[in-house]
């Protein structure tokens, strides 16, 4: 019997030439091995880099993908750039992760520097 693959709401940031890039909150699907994740039509493989932990297997673009924090501090580096929240995870993100159900209609957030 085939089992369902594990899914999780994650913070997904494309790392460009700067320290901060476009980011969003969305649901990823883990591979059976756990060494890659899928998001929409893209597949990301784990890598070790000083500012990225995944690489897009098609475009070779670097990404930072991690579980979102309750305080919203998801970026590696300080920034007030907006973070888009996918419609299909918006309510769960605000109510279950951020514990702020009064914001469940909000489709963006900002994420300051994460605490280590």
Report if residue 99 sits inside a domain.
yes
Residues 53-65 as b/e (b if ≥16 CB within 10 A, e otherwise) read bbbeeeeebbbbb
Structural domain boundaries enclosing 22: 7-110
Report if residue 2 sits inside a domain.
no
Report if residue 60 sits inside a domain.
yes
- Which tens digit of pLDDT belongs to each residue from 44-84? 999 988 788 999 999 999 999 999 999 998 888 888 889 99
Q: Which pLDDT score, from 0 to 100, does residue 67 have? A: 95
Q: How many domains does the chain have?
A: 1
Report if residue 115 sits inside a domain.
no
Report if residue 1 sits inside a domain.
no
Residue of 48, 62, 54, 57 whose CA lies nearest to 20 = 62
pTM above the 0.85 mark?
Answer: yes
pLDDT at 14 > cutoff 70: yes
For residue 20, what pLDDT band results from cuts at 50, 70 and 90? confident
Residue of 70, 69, 51 whose CA lies nearest to 61 = 51
- Which tens digit of pLDDT belongs to each residue from 93-111? 999 999 999 999 999 998 7
């Amino acid at each position: 019997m085939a089992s369902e693959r594990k899914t999780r709401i994650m913070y997904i940031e494309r790392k460009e030439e700067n320290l901060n890039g476009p980011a969003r909150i969305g649901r990823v699907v883990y591979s059976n091995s756990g060494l890659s994740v899928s998001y929409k039509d893209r597949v990301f493989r784990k890598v070790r880099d000083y500012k990225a932990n995944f690489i897009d297997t098609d475009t070779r673009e670097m990404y930072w993908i991690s579980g979102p924090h309750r305080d919203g501090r998801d970026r590696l580096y300080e920034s007030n750039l907006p973070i888009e929240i996918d419609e299909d995870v918006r309510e769960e993100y605000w109510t279950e992760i951020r514990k702020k159900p009064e914001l469940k209609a909000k489709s963006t957030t900002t994420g300051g520097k994460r605490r280590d």
